Amino acid sequence: MTRFVGPAAVAALAVIALTRGSAAQVDTVQGTVIVGTTTIALASGMAVSYTAPNGPLISVLLSDKPADRQAFAADTKTGAGESPVAALFEGAWKSQHFGKRLSGFTFSVGDKANIISEEFLVGGRNNTFSLDSSEYLIEVKSTSPRLVGRIRTRNPMVDAGSTKAGLDATFDLTVESVRR
């Protein structure tokens, strides 16, 4: 028996194929950040690439909620001739944490996937902090057009002085290029 596939069936199959193709490009973040007794489930992220005075960098946010992109764009504007730096992007995300919009972890990497800076965004305004970059293991499989990899603390919990902290996250994020 021969069956004809009508135009509606062809259109439905095309939509399914396109949906599956675009679903593969959805940003994904999975993992946890722990500070003291607080555990944050990481579910969202954002990555931006730019050329800083010290070379090409990628700044990354891994968080429980999506960043407010309008606020981020406003907070990261620079003047003519000003070079972007990691602190500009990380600071924009930190201000959203201070505004109780998100919690998580932010970091920046150089062209060899070496950690330039990082900060735990857990616990509000007076509780953010950084560890020494040697406390992390980072595996980067791709940096363009997507940042794909894993970042974690060498030990599940690291003694950060007044508290203990840990991080283990995988990410697959679109890298947005910032040209100034």
pLDDT surpasses 50 at 13? no
How many angstroms separate the first and last alpha carbons of the chain?
63
Among 13-22, 38-47, 70-79, 126-135, name the one with the lowest average pLDDT: 13-22
Report the distance separating Cα 6 and Cα 62, nearest Å.
45
User: 92 is written with which tokens?
Assistant: 């924009």
The residue among 18 and 160 whose pLDDT is bigger is 160
According to the model, what pLDDT value does residue 9 have? 41
Query: Are 29 and 171 a contacting pair, CB within 8 Å?
Result: yes
Q: Is residue 40 part of a domain?
A: yes
42: left (phi over 0), alpha (psi -120 to 50) or beta: beta
Q: Is residue 16 part of a domain?
A: no
Q: Is residue 151 part of a domain?
A: yes
Residues 77-98 have a mean pLDDT of 89
Q: Is residue 8 part of a domain?
A: no
Q: How confident is the model at residue 155 (pLDDT cuts 50, 70, 90)?
A: very high
What is the residue range of 165's domain? 26-177
According to the model, what pLDDT value does residue 2 have? 46
Q: Is residue 12 part of a domain?
A: no
pLDDT surpasses 50 at 12? no
pLDDT surpasses 90 at 82? no
pLDDT surpasses 80 at 23? no
Q: Is residue 53 part of a domain?
A: yes
According to the model, what pLDDT value does residue 56 have? 93
Report the distance separating Cα 121 and Cα 127, nearest Å.
8
Q: Is residue 108 part of a domain?
A: yes
| pLDDT tens-place string over residues 24-55 | 589 999 999 999 999 999 999 999 999 988 88
* Residue recorded with tokens 């555990």: 39
In total, how many domains does the chain have?
A: 1
pLDDT surpasses 50 at 170? yes
Q: Is residue 7 part of a domain?
A: no
User: 101 is written with which tokens?
Assistant: 């919009």
